[in-house]
Every structure is written in structure tokens, then in C-alpha cells.
Amino acid sequence: MNAPGHALTAAAAPRSRAERAPHERPAVHSTPRTTETTLAKAITAGLRRAMEEDEKVLLVGEDIGRLGGVFRVTDGLQKDFGEDRVVDSPLSEAGIVGTAVGLALRGYRPVCEIQFDGFIFPAFSEIVTQLAKMGARLGGAGRLPVVLRVPYGGGIGAVEHHSESPEALFAHTPGLRVVTPATPQDAYWMTQQAVRSDDPVMVFEPKRRYWDKGAVDLVGPLDAAPPLHAARVVRPGDDLTLVAYGPTVRLAVEAAAIAATEGTSVEVVDLRSVSPLDTATVEASVARTGRCVVVHEAPTFLGLGAELAARITERCFYALEAPVLRVGGFAVPYPAARIEEHYLPDVDRVLDAVDRSMAS
């Protein structure tokens, strides 16, 4: 299906503690040369700039040309760069990724759009058995500079296969880099950094944040951006470290703001990259706070939170005041839209974990 309606998006009932949320957004730096734009449009701008800078960059995907993508992320690019560089592909994900491997071997830098998270699986074999391993197999004789853009996550009231968070499957696959921006500024930077990387990079785009606005520096040099795989403290705090990425960063910041009104100082870390993981930033935070909660939409079982909990326990054991806690999806298929609010982590579930951690 294509971009789903939003009829159900607003259905989530206001929760007691969430009602008091001051609706704070992740901090973004603001200088006169920034432009206020949405996360989706920031990606468009990043793609445009990457295409201007390197003529080997080309975009491939279903409905990305004339339609501009079901989320309009590639809007206008085919008009400006032509049909050879913005390719409406046949309806075949294995084809999209498999031919991207070939194009890359020929010196191109394909940026593929997978229309929705749940539709990446026809390409799973090409990604895992070919794209991820080819660099190592070539033994230095070639690289695979392929980018896969994947709108992911729930909360948009969609039908099946349109709300999933499969990032751990790919983070678990050696040979792939996996990142996920949470703000328009990061979306702009990380899109370009992904294209510049000589490795396969999967960019998981938090689709329910596509319409979030923020200030973006569209003129500054990319070199001024933080490294692609660096985590970032988006809200400083002393009592507990709350780790989030992609769609849950805004949630974490909202929870931290409420916790502050209740006397708990929560530090929010936006991972930005799930493979490699910037554990140093998380460790430095936990070494100070002694407590850690990880929140993501994907099932907690064998998810990113599990990896983080293990690493933090290994490295910060003596600093820990409480076990690392996880807040995430359940071990069930992503449910029907009418009950997705009960599946997705929300402010109350995050605060509940904060309370439990603080109580131990």
C-alpha cells in the first residue's frame, strides 16, 4: 500500500502523565543561516546536495520519480536530475538491491528507497548474502557504496507491514552500517554522510517524524557535522540515562521533561547510529548517572536494548545503581492499527521504567 491515512493517528488517548508534557522538542542549534523544514524535506535537500556533488549518485525505487515517493521524499528530483538518475524501478525489491550491487561495482553510488519497512524482505537475501559481504570478499579490490533508505516504525495508523522496526536484523548483519536520524538537521547531514560512505549504509527514517519540523543548516559544510556514527546527548541530566533513537527520541525528551517536573534529572542520549554503536557516549553518561533505560519501538527481545544492556553491564558494572531496563515492542507481530498505541512505547511506559530504575 502507499502512504496510509492518518485517521487513526490522533486516536491515542491522552495519558495522565503525558498530559502534563510540556511538548519539548529535541534541542537543535539555531543560527541565522538555518531554515525551518520537515524531516522529510531535509532528506530531500540532503539527497539533492549529494546528487549535485557527485554525478555517480543515483536514486532507485518504486514510485520515486514522477510521484516523488509515497512520502514525497524524492519530490522534484527526477524533474531536476532526469530519469537516468532518479529511476522509477520495477516493483521488485530484490531487483532494486541486486542491481544496486551491480551498479556499485560499475562505479555508481545507488541510493535505494524501500517503500516501507515491511517490504524490505524480498530483498533480504541480496542485502544479507551479497551487499553486506561483498566488500570483505573483494579483499580491498572494491567497495559497495550503496545506501538503502527505509521509512520505518509505527504510530501512523497503517495497515499491515507498514509500521515495523526491523533495524536489529540488519544491525546483526556484519558488513552493514545502520543509522537512524531523529531530527531534520540529522536527517540532512546523515543522508549525505551515508551517500559519501564507501560502505553499504542503511538509513532507517522514522516515518512518523517525517512531518516534524526543525531548524536545518542547509549551507554549512558537511565536514562540520558530527560523525555519522556518533551518539549525541540531546538533553543533559544527572540521575538517569535514557537512550533512544529514531522515532523514540522525541518521546524520550518528552518523558525527560515530565520527569524533571517530578524531581528526576534525566539525560537523553540519541544513539543516531545502531551499527556501529557509539557505546562510549552512553558509557560516559551512565558512569555519571548510574542508571539506564533504553527505549525503542522494535521488540525488546534480542533488540538493540539487549545489546546496550549487555555492553553497559560489562563496562559500567560498578557504576550501576540499577539494572539496565528496556522499554519497547512486544514479541508479537506488529498489531492492527486500532491497538497499536498499546504496542508502542509511550511516555507513561518510559516514565514507569524511569520510576522502577530510580526505586532500585
Partner 1 sequence: MGPEAVGSTAAPMVQLLTPAGERVTSGDDGGYAERVEHLGLDDLRDRYRRMALVRRVDVEATALQRQGELALWASCSGQEAAQVGAAAALARQDHVFPSYREHGIAIGRGLDPVALLQLYRGTTHGGWDPAASGFHLYTLVIGAQTLHATGYAMGVQRDGAVGTGDPARDTAVLACFGDGATAQGEVSEAMVWAGVFNAPVVFFCQNNQWAISEPNERQMRAPLARRAEGFGFPGVRVDGNDVLAVEAVVGAAADRARAGEGPMLVEAWTYRMAAHTTSDDTSRYRDRGEEQHWRERDPLDRLEAHLRATGDDDDHAAFLADVTAEADAVAERVRRGVRALPDPEPTSMFDHVYADPHPLVEEERAWLADWVAAGEER
Ligand X SMILES: Cc1ncc(C[n+]2csc(CCOP(=O)(O)OP(=O)(O)O)c2C)c(N)n1
With binding defined as CB under 8 A, does residue 94 bind partner 1?
Answer: yes
With binding defined as CB under 8 A, does residue 226 bind partner 1?
Answer: no
Output the CA–CA distances (angstroms, integers) from residue 124 to 109, 168, 173, 267, in the order listed. Answer: 20, 13, 11, 36
Q: Which is nearer to ligand X, 67 or 225 (CB)?
A: 67
Show the site string, 103-142: x = touches ligand X by CB under 6 A, - = not.
------------x---x--x--------------------
Q: Which is nearer to partner 1, 8 or 27 (CB)?
A: 8
Nearest to 180 by CA among 274, 259, 39: 274
Question: What amino acid occupies position 349?
Answer: R
Catalytic residues: 162
Q: Which does 219 bind (CB under 5 to 8 A by kind): partner 1, ligand X, none?
A: none
Q: Phi and psi (nearest 5°) for 320?
A: -75, 135
Rounded to a whole number of angstroms, the minimum distance from the CB of residue 304 to ligand X is 25
In order, the DSSP letters of 102-161 are HHHHTT-EEEEEPSSGGGSGGGHHIIIIIIHHHHHHHTTS-----EEEEEE---S---TT
Nearest to 298 by CA among 178, 216, 123, 201: 178
Nearest to 149 by CA among 118, 197, 117: 117
* Neighbouring-strand partners of residue 235: 268
Show the site string, 58-77: x = touches ligand X by CB under 6 A, - = not.
----x---------------
Q: Which is nearer to partner 1, 323 or 335 (CB)?
A: 335
Q: Which is nearer to ligand X, 68 or 184 (CB)?
A: 68
For residues 110 and 145, give the distance between their C-alpha atoms in angstroms, rounded to a whole number. Answer: 7
Residue ranges in contact with partner 1 by CB under 8 A: 1-5, 7-8, 15-16, 62-63, 65-68, 70, 88-92, 94-95, 118-119, 121-122, 157-161, 301, 330-333, 335-339, 342-343, 348-349
Residue ranges in contact with ligand X by CB under 6 A: 1, 62, 91, 93, 115, 119, 122
